[in-house]
Amino acid sequence: MNTSSSFSVAASPTFPIQSDVCVVGNGVIGKATALGFAQAGLSVTLLGPAVATITDPSALTQGWDARVYALNHVAHALLSSLKVWDALDASRIAAVDEMVVQGDGDTYSGLLGFDAYTARVGALAWIIENRNLNAALDSALKFTPRVRLVQGRATVLRSTSESASITLENGGTLCASLVVGADGGQSWVRNQCDIGIDYRSYGQRGVVTNFECDKPHHGVAYQWFTATEGIVALLPLPGQRVSLVWSAPEALAETLMRESPAEIAARLNVFCGEQLGLLRPVQPEQVKAFPLILIRSHAIVAPRVALVGDAAHVVHPLAGHGMNLGFADVAGLLEAVATREAHRDCGDARVLARYARGRKEDILLMQLATDSLARLFATDFAPVRMALNAGLNLIDKLPVLKRILISHALGSK
């Protein structure tokens, strides 16, 4: 096995590399997976394309990343156990103390609110920039024994009863007891295992950017469900700043991407003018967009293979839990491997079956909830929208049901 004492990089090695675990995909979920297995004492190969790393710490403070995550308590617990949470730049993290969900309609608008005090927690979630999280993971990996980063392109994945192997484009080979697919929604690992998927486009794009606001947000995350303009969410950032995640229908998304951030801000003032005042683009201005899709994998394990994150499932971002599902996958896989019997290796079929069983309910519930809400609130049929808005108001008045919803949002069972 790899016995290197520190994180090392090999650009497309031609020699065979042997490790306990090979993680394919070096995004946030892949890095967390590699870090978790290495800290558990296993040797790890992390395979991904060559990416630019942040070598200048001052780069983290230049502007605000348009891509942010709303991490829940499961993600917080995992990152804390990996010694990553305390390595984050705390000055660039905003706690969500309250969430307000609002329907539309002048006479039947629904309203639903959650707050940390009622939930008896310090925060409902934490808003963290992508680059802040990646920088902390990179730093942790740099000083973690038994991790080797390989940069290259995989071409073939083979599994036997004893091990799995990945052939690289240059002929090099990576061998491991367990291969973890953390390579996103278009997962190469999943395709190599012939795992089928159910795929559907929502006909929407997620448009993201950041704004400064005239009024303090007080740690409140706002979300508006509309019939014609999709789902608008404004998440708190440190200071008087908010991050926009607008799940916009394709035609509207095309228009938004042609507009300036100032013009987008003017649109948003219709929703948030009373709560946040006028919005102004955060400098330097950046607006990004990504397609919104649903992917249900028919399985999250195969012989010697486990899928985590978007490789295992892609959900609508309306609840902000796509990344949280991925971190829960990582935690579940680490636990299944850590609690295996002494005679089983980390890629044993029974170990992977336990991981799949343990994640089934959580994944299914989140898929059903986000898909149902996205489709129901996309309708412009007035009676349905009246019923949905009435449902929001009803839930807001039922403390027991609200506690159940908060528990699931926090990641509790």
> What would the DSSP string read from start to end of 5-31?
SS-EEEES-SS-EEEEEEEE--SHHHH
Q: Which of 68, 95, 131 lies closest to 320, judged by CA?
A: 68
Q: With CA atoms as reference, report the closest residue to 94 among 62, 63, 132.
A: 132
Q: Do 166 and 61 form a contact (C-beta atoms < 8 A)?
A: no
Can you tell me the distance from the alpha carbon of 114 to that of 369, in angstroms, rounded to the nearest whole number? 17
Q: Which residue has the higher pLDDT, 106 or 223?
A: 223
In the prediction, which pLDDT does 6 show?
Answer: 43
Computed over every residue of the chain, the mean pLDDT equals: 88
Tokens coding 8: 């090392």
Residue 205 host element (H or E): strand 197-213
For the whole model, what pTM was predicted?
0.90
Tokens of 210: 């950041």
Dihedrals phi, psi of 149, to nearest 5 degrees: -90, 125
The pLDDT of 244-271, averaged and rounded, is: 95
176, two tokens: 């491991």
Helix H or strand E segment including 174: strand 173-181
Query: CA Rg, the chain, in Å?
Result: 22
Compute the average pLDDT of residues 365-379: 78
**Residue 68 bridge partners (DSSP):** 129
**pLDDT tens across 349-363, in order?**
999 999 999 999 999
Q: Identify the bridge partners of residue 342 per DSSP, sorted by sequence position.
A: none
pLDDT tens for each residue of 137-181: 999 999 888 999 999 999 999 999 999 999 999 899 999 999 999
Task: With residue 336 as reference, give the H or E element that holds it.
Answer: helix 322-338
pLDDT on residue 68: 96
pLDDT digits over 127-139, tens only?
A: 999 999 999 999 9
pLDDT at 88 over 70: yes
210's enclosing H/E stretch is strand 197-213
CATH of domain 8-54+134-198+293-373: 3.50.50.60
pLDDT band at 391 (very low <50, low <70, confident <90, very high): low
**What sign has the CA pseudo-torsion 99, 116, 238, 30?**
negative
Task: Tell me the pLDDT band of 51, cut-offs 50, 70 and 90.
Answer: low
pLDDT tier for residue 3 given thresholds of 50, 70 and 90: very low
Residues 6+ apart with CB under 8 A from 48: 24, 25, 26, 27, 30, 149, 150, 151, 183
Pairing of strands 147-151, 8-11: parallel
Which of the pair, 40 or 401, is modelled with greater confidence?
40
Average pLDDT over residues 109-125: 82
Q: What is the mean pLDDT of residues 18-29?
A: 97
Closest CA to 301 of 175, 178, 139: 178
- pLDDT of 385 over the 70 cut: no
332 contacts: CB under 8 Å, gap ≥ 6: 355, 358, 359
Residue 78 CB: number of other CB atoms within 10 A? 22
Q: Which residues contact 75 (CB under 8 A, 6 or more apart)?
A: 69, 323, 324, 327, 328, 411
3-class secondary structure, 148:
strand
Q: What gap in Å lies between CA 302 and CA 190, rounded to an integer?
A: 9
The per-residue pLDDT for 2 is: 38
Query: Which residues sit opposite 99 in a β-bridge?
Result: 114, 221
Q: What is the pLDDT of residues 280-323, one digit of tens each?
A: 999 888 999 999 999 999 999 999 999 999 999 999 988 788 99
pLDDT given at position 119: 79
Cα angle 158, 159, 162; round to 5: 140
Domain residue spans of the chain? 8-54+134-198+293-373
% of the chain at pLDDT higher than 90: 70
- Report whether pLDDT(24) > 60: yes
With pLDDT > 70 as the criterion, what percentage of the chain qualifies? Answer: 83
> How large is the average pLDDT for residues 376-404?
59
Looking up tokens 């159940």 gives 404
DSSP state letter for 176? E
* Residue 133 or residue 410, greater confidence: 133
